């Protein structure tokens, strides 16, 4: 019973549509009707500006972190499950949120949040890599996909240091999610029509 409740809460945390709620509450705007229509930080930056984009990105990160840290609550202390499992449910909730007709974001920020809760040095490393790649490419989509590859390489290195194969599996899974959710972006990158950021 505790396991089912844990996974349900993790999914519901991930399902919180930060971009949708912030857009409607503070800007009277349904972000799904503007820009790419995606419920994520990038589209929020594009449509609502830096302040809203930063708020959405931070909230989406914290959803993943909170899901991992659920196991620290006394009620879930006896649940024999790896912390990356509820983290994965949060990522699924972010992509397919019950609160937004199962049409959500692209899993990048929430996946990062899961990593923050599980292995914060890895999160910091990938955040730095993301910023560097974004600075060079000016494309959030490309940066997200390349960082997922960097994360997989890091997890393999980490495995040889610690034996933690769960991290390889989950980062590999998150990377697959990210590439799948960026299918249209890949086509635009190939065609040279992918939008580029102007604020970095």
Mean pLDDT of 48-73: 94
SS3 state at 198:
coil
Which one, of 78, 74, 105, lies nearest residue 177 by Cα?
A: 105
What are the tokens at 147? 């960082």
Expressed as residue numbers, the domain containing 133 is 2-191
Burial of residue 21, with CB atoms counted within 10 A of its CB: 0-12 exposed, 13-18 middle, 19 or more buried: middle
- Is the predicted pLDDT of residue 27 greater than 80, yes or no? yes
Mean pLDDT of 64-77: 93
Query: Going by C-beta distance under 8 Å and a sequence separation of 6 or more, which residues neighbour residue 6?
Result: 70, 71, 76, 79, 81, 86
Give the predicted TM-score (pTM) of the model: 0.92
- Is the predicted pLDDT of residue 29 greater than 80, yes or no? yes
- pLDDT band, residue 107 (cuts 50/70/90): confident
SS3 state at 47:
helix
Does a structural domain hold residue 157? yes
Question: What integer pLDDT is reported at residue 166 of this predicted model?
Answer: 93
Share of the chain above pLDDT 70, in %: 99
Residue in this structure with the two tokens 């899961």, named with its chain if needed:
114
What are the tokens at 1? 């019973």
Does a structural domain hold residue 152? yes
Question: What integer pLDDT is reported at residue 197 of this predicted model?
Answer: 84
Which one, of 87, 161, 95, 94, lies nearest residue 123 by Cα?
A: 87
Does a structural domain hold residue 199? no
Question: What integer pLDDT is reported at residue 119 of this predicted model?
Answer: 96
- Is the predicted pLDDT of residue 194 greater than 80, yes or no? yes
- Is the predicted pLDDT of residue 122 greater than 90, yes or no? yes
Please give the mean pLDDT across all residues of the chain. Answer: 93
Does a structural domain hold residue 80? yes
- Is the predicted pLDDT of residue 200 greater than 80, yes or no? no
- pLDDT band, residue 80 (cuts 50/70/90): confident
Could you read off the pLDDT of 158-186 as tens digits, one per residue?
999 999 999 999 999 999 999 999 999 99
Residue in this structure with the two tokens 């920020």, named with its chain if needed:
109
Number of domains in the chain: 1
Contact 148, 173 (CB under 8 A): no
Does a structural domain hold residue 48? yes
- pLDDT band, residue 38 (cuts 50/70/90): confident
- Is the predicted pLDDT of residue 40 greater than 90, yes or no? no
Quote the DSSP letter at residue 83: T
Does a structural domain hold residue 104? yes
Mean pLDDT of 3-21: 95
- Is the predicted pLDDT of residue 77 greater than 90, yes or no? no
Contact 148, 179 (CB under 8 A): yes
Which one, of 138, 150, 139, lies nearest residue 175 by Cα?
A: 150
Question: What integer pLDDT is reported at residue 198 of this predicted model?
Answer: 77
Question: What integer pLDDT is reported at residue 78 of this predicted model?
Answer: 85
- For helices 183-191 and 165-181, the axis angle rounded to 10 degrees is 60
Contact 48, 23 (CB under 8 A): yes
What are the tokens at 86? 């509820």
Does a structural domain hold residue 198? no
Does a structural domain hold residue 200? no
């Amino acid at each position: 019973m505790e396991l089912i409740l844990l996974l349900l809460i993790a999914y519901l945390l991930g399902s919180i549509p930060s971009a949708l709620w912030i857009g409607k509450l503070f800007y009277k705007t349904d972000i799904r009707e503007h820009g790419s229509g995606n419920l994520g930080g990038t589209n929020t930056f594009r449509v609502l500006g830096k302040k809203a984009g930063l708020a959405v990105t931070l909230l989406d990160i914290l959803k993943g972190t909170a899901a991992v840290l659920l196991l620290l609550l006394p009620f879930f202390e006896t649940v024999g499950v790896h912390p990356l499992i509820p983290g994965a449910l949060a990522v699924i909730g972010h992509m397919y949120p019950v609160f937004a007709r199962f049409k959500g974001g692209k899993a990048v920020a929430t996946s990062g949040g899961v990593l923050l809760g599980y292995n914060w040095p890895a999160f910091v490393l990938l955040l730095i890599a993301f910023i560097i790649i974004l600075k060079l490419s000016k494309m959030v989509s490309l940066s997200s996909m390349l960082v997922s590859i960097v994360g997989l390489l890091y997890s393999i290195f980490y495995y040889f240091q610690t034996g933690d194969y769960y991290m390889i599996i989950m980062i590999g899974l998150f990377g697959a999610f990210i590439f799948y959710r960026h299918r249209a972006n890949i086509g635009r990158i190939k065609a040279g029509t992918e939008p580029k950021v102007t604020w970095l």
